[in-house]
């Protein structure tokens, strides 16, 4: 079955930005749209009203399903097959495991916050 994916990330976060670029260019996932949450605030506000806060992690829309944070990363990494980037191959291998994703993801959220604060960028989008 073919799904439509929309991956929403924080475009000011260098980690999120790089991962999103790799997804878009090197993942070989069909039917994926990559959106910078900072440029799509109406969508971000509607997702926040449903309980999905981009400040706490990326958001993945898989047709009508919504995945957030570690679940979003884990779900999209499970879709990556034969990426044309060794870094994306490594990341997808690490984050295909629910256990590893749940262990590592909180550290990534903290790293994002530290980087944004150090750059003087607000961590909250809305």
2 pLDDT band, cuts 50/70/90, is confident
Q: DSSP 3-state assignment of 61?
A: strand
pLDDT tens per residue across span 88-126: 999 999 999 999 999 999 999 999 999 999 999 999 988
3-state helix, strand, coil in the chain (%, to 5): 55, 15, 35
pLDDT for the residue numbered 110: 96
Percent residues over pLDDT 70 in the chain: 100
1 pLDDT band, cuts 50/70/90, is confident
- Predicted TM-score (pTM) of the model is 0.94
Q: Average pLDDT, whole number, for the chain?
A: 95
Do residues 19 and 9 make contact, with C-beta atoms less than 8 angstroms apart? yes
Task: Decide: residue 29, CB within 10 A, 0-12 exposed, 13-18 middle, 19+ buried.
Answer: middle
Give the pLDDT mean for 41-46.
97
Do residues 111 and 123 make contact, with C-beta atoms less than 8 angstroms apart? no
Name the residue ranges covered by the structural domains of the chain: 5-119
């Amino acid at each position: 079955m073919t799904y439509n994916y929309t991956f929403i990330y924080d475009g000011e976060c260098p980690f999120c930005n790089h991962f999103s670029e790799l997804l878009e260019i090197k993942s070989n996932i069909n039917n994926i749209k990559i959106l910078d949450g900072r440029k799509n605030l109406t969508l971000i506000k509607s997702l926040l009203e449903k309980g999905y806060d981009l400040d706490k992690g990326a958001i993945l829309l898989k047709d009508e399903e919504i995945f957030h944070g570690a679940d979003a990363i884990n779900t999209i990494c499970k879709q990556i097959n034969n990426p044309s980037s060794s870094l994306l191959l490594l990341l997808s291998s690490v984050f295909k495991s629910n256990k590893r994703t749940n262990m590592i993801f909180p550290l990534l959220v903290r790293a994002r916050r530290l980087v944004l604060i150090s750059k003087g960028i607000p961590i909250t989008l809305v």
